[in-house]
Structures are given as C-alpha cells and as structure tokens.
Amino acid sequence: MKRIRLLVMLVAAVLLGTMALSGPAWSHGKEKKECTKHHNSMGKPLTVRQRHLLKDYAYDHQQVGEEYLLKAMQWDLDLSKALDAITLTKEQEAALVKIVDSRVSLWGANADPITKDGIALKDALLTDNVSEKDLQAASAQLAKDIGESAALASQMVKEARSTLTPEQWAVVKDLINKGAAEGDDELKRLPDQVSGLVGMVKELDLTPDQITYLLRFEPAASRPGRQQAKQVERLVMSKLHRILGHDQMEILKAYLEPRMGRAERMKREQAEAWVEFYHDLDLSQEQLDKLIELVSGKQKEIVANTDAVTRASFALRDQVLADNADPAKIRKAAQDLGNAIGKASLLGADMIKSAKGILNEEQWKLVLAKVGEVQGQIQDEVRKAPDEINAAIKLWQDLDLTLKQQEELKELVQREILGHWHRGHRGGHEHGHHEHGDHHENGHEH
C-alpha cells in the first residue's frame, strides 16, 4: 500500500515538478540568481479560473488525504489492539528482539548489493545508447539479490512464528491479510488517480511566469498541518511524562531529539536544493508543454507497469509469509518481480530518451547531477539503516518498561493519540465539507 502511495506521489512530482522546473524561485539564505532568459522574475498571478481549478482539486485531494490518514490511524489502532490480544510473555518478547538483533548485520550486507543493483539499473537507463540487453541484465541481478534478501526475511518470519503460539500467529496473520486486501483496493484506484492528476495539470495550463509566482510563496495551507503536528507533539510529551520515570524520559529524549532535529534540517535543506535546481534548469514554455505532454501520453503505460511491479512485489511478500515458505518459490517470485521491473525500465528508458530530446545539453547535465545527488542521499540512508535498527533495539532495552508502563503506553496510543487524530480529522472534514457546501449555495467562491 505504501509503495502505491509513493508511485502516485512520484507521478504527481513528475507532472507538477516539470511545471515547477520552469524558472526562478526563492532560496533561503542564498542570493537569487539572475534568470531572465524565459521568465519575468516576479512571476505572474493566476487567473480566476485557474485559482478555482486549484481550489477544487485541493479540496478533493484533501478529502482523499484524510481518508488515507484515517486508514493509517485505523491500521495503527488495529495493530495496537492486536498486540493487546497477543499478550507476549517476557520470554517471547526477548526472543523476538534477539531474532531481529541477530539479522541486523545481515540486512546491511543484503541492502548494499540491492542498492548497487539499483544504481546499475539507473546508469543503464541514463546512458546515451540504452541497451535492452543491459537493462534486462541489471534487472535480473536486482531480482537475484532481492530474492536473497527475501529468503532471509522468510527465515526470520519462520523463527518469529515458532516463538508465538498458534493463536498469537493467527492474530498477526489476520493483520497481514487485512493489509494485503487494502493494498489491492488501492491499486484498483490508481488509474483514476493518475488520470485525474494528468487532466488537472493539462486543464490548469500554467505558464512559466505563473509557476514562478507560485514558487515564490510558501503555501499557507501547510501552516495548520504544522501547528497540529506541534499540538500532538506537546500532547504526547505531557502524557509520556506521566508514564515514564525521569531517567526513562532522559533516555527517550537523548534518542529522539537529535533524530528529529536532523530530519527537520534535512527536509529544509532538500527543499531549498530542489528550489535552486528548478531555478537553474530554467525551462521554456515550449519545453514545459512537451514534458507535460510526454507524461500525459504515457499515463496508461505508467499505470500498467506500476500495476505489474506492485502485484509482483505482493506475490513475493505472500511467498515470504507463507506457512510453509519454499525457497525455490521465493526465488521464482523474486525473478518475476525482476522481470516486471525490467519491463518498466524499458518504458523508463523510452521516456528518458524523449525527455533528453526536449532538454538542451546544459539542462541534461543539471538533471544528471541532481540524480547523482539524490542517489548519494539514498546510499547514505541505506548505510545508516543497521545502526538505526541497533539504536532502536538498544532504546527498547534501556527503557526496560514495566508491564504497567507498556499497558499505559498502549492506552496512550489507542485513546489519546489516535483518538485525537480521528476526532480532529473527522471534525475538520465535516467542517470543510459544510463550508464548501454553504459557499456553493450562496454562490460564493470557496
């Protein structure tokens, strides 16, 4: 399910991002570069029609976003309730932690070749003369290494299952099946989501100057979300102080604070880097129109390949979690996933070739440099993953929660944290819908 959401976001980034690639934009802490080849540096406001289109799409998108959030919160609530139903003993809990801990170094060893395989596939896609044979070879190697990682995961699942009672495993399996069904339902909605986004972008028909205008201002709509996040953060901390002792709170803060600060800093720096990239690329109106038309013309193929890759990954997941997992079937499912990735890469190669023909040589160099930068960021995160897993395990061990504290934390999640989000988003949805309807009735702009 998360993979599908990521794909929808990716398509949105390609479409809306290509519009955003069209000119100068603000950059925090840096002097703005002169860029007058194609654009008015101050930008141009949207027309009334365009504002209405954006508002209507944003309203519909907000409703979809709230549905996703409520489903995610419900999933967390179901998981918390399932943990209540499982009621692990101290011995089972220690055994499960040991199983995960024993695999951390192996995960790192398996993640490294998969990352390198992804880089090799990317390099094959970006070469001047893309070879179908090279793409298939890179995809096959990726599938092989994914299969090795899946076999490791399957063994870990087998050991975890042997630690649980049949009744406990049945609860876990029920949750897995619910997640799989939800993923299938979301996959069915993907074509409508992509076509709706493509249709909106084409109908909006923004000029580079209008995109410049949009990029110069931080959307006010994001401020309520940040305020709500801060409110939830304060609520969590106040409740945690009542559950955990002083030493436990200090341990938790020592773990959370540097990670939260680093995440916020990275988010800000990456946003600034993307804005600067958009500024430097400086697309013309003609290039912008051609890039949007390129994605629009390939939307059916994008959806079809996304569907194939996602279903193949679902099939691999099912083999890993099977009651009597068969290594041969796992390898076959991984090979099928590699074949699906290979076919999708052929579409990617075709679209990259077309995009390269739209951009000039300098613009293409900027794109390659940005791809390399993002690739480096991904490699850094993969390298950090084993240490982060070890840190999380150590945190759990150092906190040494009593059974009473564990129960109180579950209560905090179920009734306070999730309940707060449920109430807030349901209330916000009903309020927004009411306002939306009232404005229509009175003939006012909403």
The angle at the Cα of 295, spanning 289 to 299, to the nearest 5 degrees, equals 140
pLDDT of 250 strictly over 90: yes
User: pLDDT at position 301, please?
Assistant: 92
Instruction: Please name the residues in contact with 111: beta carbons below 8 A apart, sequence gap of 6 or more.
Output: 149, 382, 385
Q: Which residue has the tokens 């490294």?
A: 112
**Tokens representing residue 435 in the block:** 């306002």
User: pLDDT at position 15, please?
Assistant: 38
Distance CA 64, CA 170 (A): 32
User: pLDDT at position 355, please?
Assistant: 92
Distance CA 122, CA 129 (A): 13
pLDDT band at 275 (very low <50, low <70, confident <90, very high): confident
Q: To the nearest whole percent, how much of the chain has pLDDT over 90?
A: 12
Distance CA 27, CA 246 (A): 42
Closest CA to 248 of 416, 404, 405: 405
Q: To the nearest whole percent, how much of the chain has pLDDT over 70?
A: 74
pLDDT of 32 strictly over 50: no
The answer to which of 272-286, 365-379, 420-434 has the lowest mean pLDDT is: 420-434
User: pLDDT at position 184, please?
Assistant: 77
Distance CA 109, CA 200 (A): 44
pLDDT band at 332 (very low <50, low <70, confident <90, very high): very high
> What is the phi/psi pair of residue 97, to 5°?
-60, -40
- Identify the residue with better confidence: 72 or 171: 171
Distance CA 237, CA 244 (A): 10
Question: Do the Cβ atoms of 291 and 355 come closer than 8 Å?
Answer: yes
When the pLDDT of each residue in the chain is averaged and rounded to a whole number, the result is 76
pLDDT of 89 strictly over 70: yes
What is the rounded average pLDDT of the residues 123-143?
A: 85
The 3-class secondary structure across the chain, one letter per residue, is: CHHHHHHHHHHHHHHHHHHHCCCCCCCCCCCCCCCCCCCCCCCCCCCHHHHHHHHHHHHHHHHHHHHHHHHHHHHHHHHHHHHHHHCCCHHHHHHHHHHHHHHHHHHHHHHHHHHHHHHHHHHHHHCCCCCHHHHHHHHHHHHHHHHHHHHHHHHHHHHHHHHCCHHHHHHHHHHHHHHHHHHHHHHHHHHHHHHHHHHHHHHHCCCHHHHHHHHCCCCCCHHHHHHHHHHHHHHHHHHHHHHCCHHHHHHHHHHHHHHHHHHHHHHHHHHHHHHHHHHHHCCCHHHHHHHHHHHHHCHHHHHHHHHHHHHHHHHHHHHHCCCCCCHHHHHHHHHHHHHHHHHHHHHHHHHHHHHHHHCCHHHHHHHHHHHHHHHHHHHHHHHHHHHHHHHHHHHHHHHCCCHHHHHHHHHHHHHHHHHHHHHHHHHHHHHHHHHHHHHHHHCCCC
The angle at the Cα of 406, spanning 400 to 411, to the nearest 5 degrees, equals 155
User: pLDDT at position 224, please?
Assistant: 54
Count how many residues are written for the chain: 446
**Tokens representing residue 61 in the block:** 């998108």
- Identify the residue with better confidence: 446 or 368: 368
The CA R_g of the chain, rounded to the nearest whole Å, is: 24
Cα torsion angle, 98, 104, 109, 111, sign? positive
The angle at the Cα of 178, spanning 90 to 161, to the nearest 5 degrees, equals 35
User: pLDDT at position 225, please?
Assistant: 56
pLDDT of 362 strictly over 90: yes
User: pLDDT at position 112, please?
Assistant: 77
- Identify the residue with better confidence: 361 or 132: 361
- Identify the residue with better confidence: 182 or 391: 391
**Residues of 167-187 as b/e, b for ≥16 C-beta within 10 angstroms?**
ebbebbeeeeeebeeebeebb
pLDDT band at 237 (very low <50, low <70, confident <90, very high): confident
Instruction: Please name the residues in contact with 411: beta carbons below 8 A apart, sequence gap of 6 or more.
Output: none
Instruction: Please name the residues in contact with 212: beta carbons below 8 A apart, sequence gap of 6 or more.
Output: 22, 23, 24, 25, 39, 40, 41, 42, 43, 44
pLDDT band at 254 (very low <50, low <70, confident <90, very high): very high
User: pLDDT at position 216, please?
Assistant: 61
pLDDT tens digits, one per residue of 282-326? 889 899 899 999 989 999 999 999 999 989 988 998 998 888 889
> What is the phi/psi pair of residue 42, to 5°?
-90, -15
pLDDT of 14 strictly over 50: no
User: pLDDT at position 130, please?
Assistant: 77
pLDDT band at 198 (very low <50, low <70, confident <90, very high): confident
pLDDT band at 17 (very low <50, low <70, confident <90, very high): very low
User: pLDDT at position 415, please?
Assistant: 64
How many other C-beta atoms lie within 10 A of the C-beta of residue 435? 12
- The listed range with the strongest mean pLDDT (8-12, 227-231, 313-317) is 313-317
**Tokens representing residue 233 in the block:** 């953060």
pLDDT band at 51 (very low <50, low <70, confident <90, very high): confident
pLDDT of 222 strictly over 60: no
Provide the terminal-to-terminal Cα distance of the chain, rounded to the nearest Å. 32
